Structure formats: structure tokens, C-alpha cells
């Protein structure tokens, strides 16, 4: 049961992650539930919309992971090993480095109430220099999975994932910085780090 659905056209969504379910040809887009600030308090969990033609959208209610105590940020949805889907998302508060990238799993995209928590993937407290938010997952030609995350502070980090669990690989003790800010606030790629080649 997908729960109640609300028809919407051209829904407004922040930090979207879009994908198509090859099994049924249905399009899905996941987005931030809110910033938790006065400007946009939002609602707990993550917003989810679905469409058959990319023009007419249905909002799946309740939000994915609606039992969370706060709005969740910047989802990334990818196929999971062994079937189903992995959902990476951020837990943080505005302007804070006390953040985590977390993982959830669902057997289907068709319902927003079937997501099961799988725990933390990577966290930051401020001492690390980076901020554990805004996850993105890429897969290399060789089949390796990599997590990219971060915002401001020491830029974007990269770590290898275990393709069977979706969590950090045992060999991921050292994060690689791929992008950092220079003295003028501009983004530079890090010369010592070569991002993986990804499949399209």
C-alpha cells in the first residue's frame, strides 16, 4: 500500500534525486523535506513524487522516513545489492558540522512507508574539517561504488563503499578530498586525488 497520494503538477523540490524503475517504467524523484529553519521549517522525512510522463506528478504520502524527528536532506537513491533500493540521506542542522550521512533500504520505490533504517554511513562533529552531508554515489567501470559528500569547510570528500552492504568499505579509513575551496572561496580540484571514472 503506497498510502494516500496527492496530485501535483511541476512540484517544487530541493536537492532532487531522480531515477526510473526499470521494472515498471515509473519515474521517481526524492527531495529534501525542509531545512528546519524559520524560512523553511519543512516536515519530517523526505519528499517523494512519482510520474509516468515527467509532466504529471503524484506526491507519495507520508514522506519517506517520516518517523524522523526532523526534516532530512539531500537524498540519493541507487539500486541495492541483492535487490531493492538504497537511500542515502543527510541528517544535520543549518550551519552545523554535526552531521551524518545515513542509509535506508526498501524493497520497492512504489511506497513511501517501506523504508528501513540501515544506520550511519559517515558522520562529522567539526573536528574532522569536513561536513558529512549531501551524499552522491557513483559506480566505476570496474563495479566499485564510491560515496562523495561534503559542503563548504574542507570541500567534497570521497570514500569507497562496500557494494554488498552499502556502508563504507573496510579499506575506506582514509577519505580522499576531491574538491576544496581556495582563499577566494572558489572550488579547486585536489591535484593529488583522481576521481574514479564512472559508468553512464
Question: Which pLDDT tens digit goes with each residue over 150-183?
Answer: 977 777 889 999 999 999 987 545 566 665 555 4
- Which position has the higher pLDDT, 51 or 198? 51
- What are the pLDDT digits (tens) for 5-35? 666 656 778 889 999 987 788 999 999 887 7
Domain positions in the chain are 5-189
**Residues with Cβ within 8 Å of residue 61, at least 6 apart in sequence:** 3, 4, 5, 6, 112
Asked if the model's pLDDT at residue 139 lies above 70, the reply is yes
Question: Which pLDDT score is estimated for 116?
Answer: 96
Q: How many residues does the chain have?
A: 200
| Mean pLDDT, residues 98-107 | 95
d(CA 87, CA 80): 9
Domain boundaries 5-189, corresponding CATH code: 2.115.10.20
Among 156, 161, 114, smallest CA distance to 137 is for 161
pTM of the model: 0.83
pLDDT-based confidence at 4, cuts 50/70/90? low
pLDDT for residue 8: 66
Cell 558529512 appears where?
A: 132
Amino acid at each position: 500500500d503506497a498510502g494516500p497520494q496527492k496530485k501535483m503538477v511541476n512540484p517544487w523540490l530541493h536537492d532532487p534525486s531522480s531515477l526510473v524503475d526499470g521494472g515498471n517504467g515509473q519515474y521517481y524523484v526524492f527531495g529534501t523535506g525542509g531545512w528546519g529553519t524559520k524560512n523553511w521549517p519543512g516536515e519530517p522525512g523526505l519528499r517523494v513524487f512519482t510520474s509516468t510522463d515527467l509532466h504529471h506528478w503524484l506526491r507519495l504520502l507520508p514522506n519517506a522516513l517520516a518517523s524522523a524527528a526532523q526534516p532530512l536532506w539531500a537524498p540519493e537513491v541507487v539500486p541495492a545489492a541483492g535487490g531493492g533500493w538504497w537511500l542515502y540521506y543527510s541528517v544535520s542542522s543549518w550551519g552545523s558540522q554535526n552531521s551524518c550521512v545515513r542509509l535506508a533500504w526498501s524493497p520497492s520505490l512504489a511506497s513511501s512507508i517501506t523504508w528501513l533504517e540501515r544506520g550511519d554511513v559517515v558522520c562529522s562533529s567539526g573536528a574532522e574539517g569536513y561536513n558529512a552531508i549531501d551524499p552522491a554515489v557513483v559506480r566505476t567501470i570496474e563495479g566499485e561504488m564510491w560515496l562523495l559528500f561534503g559542503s563548504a569547510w574542507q570541500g567534497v570528500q570521497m570514500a569507497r563503499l562496500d557494494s554488498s552492504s552499502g556502508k563504507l568499505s573496510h579499506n575506506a579509513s582514509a577519505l580522499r578530498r576531491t574538491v576544496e575551496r581556495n582563499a577566494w572561496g572558489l572550488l579547486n580540484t585536489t591535484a593529488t586525488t583522481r576521481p574514479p571514472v564512472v559508468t553512464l
